[in-house]
């Protein structure tokens, strides 16, 4: 997919993403 912006993470797609941080975003993407 694509890189998920920080504000989208704040929306709360997945708890693990916020916990994992940047790597969590890459994993989800």
Query: Which residue is associated with the tokens 């693990």?
Result: 16
Q: Output the CA–CA distances (angstroms, integers) from residue 1 to 4, 24, 26, in the order listed.
A: 9, 14, 10
Into how many domains does the chain fold? Answer: 1
Mean pLDDT of the chain: 58
- Report the pLDDT value the prediction gives residue 2, as an integer from 0 to 100: 67
Task: Check residue 4 and report its DSSP letter.
Answer: P
What average pLDDT score do residues 1-29 get? Answer: 58
Instruction: For residue 3, give its domain range.
Output: 1-29
Say if residue 6's pLDDT is above 60: yes
Q: Output the CA–CA distances (angstroms, integers) from residue 10 to 5, 22, 23, in the order listed.
A: 9, 13, 15
Q: Label residue 3 by pLDDT band (50, 70, 90).
A: confident
Print the SS3 string covering 1-29: CCCCCHHHHHHCCCHHHHHHCHHHHHHHC
């Amino acid at each position: 997919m694509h890189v998920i912006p920080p504000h989208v993470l704040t929306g709360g797609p997945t708890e693990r993403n916020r916990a994992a941080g940047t790597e969590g975003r890459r994993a989800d993407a």
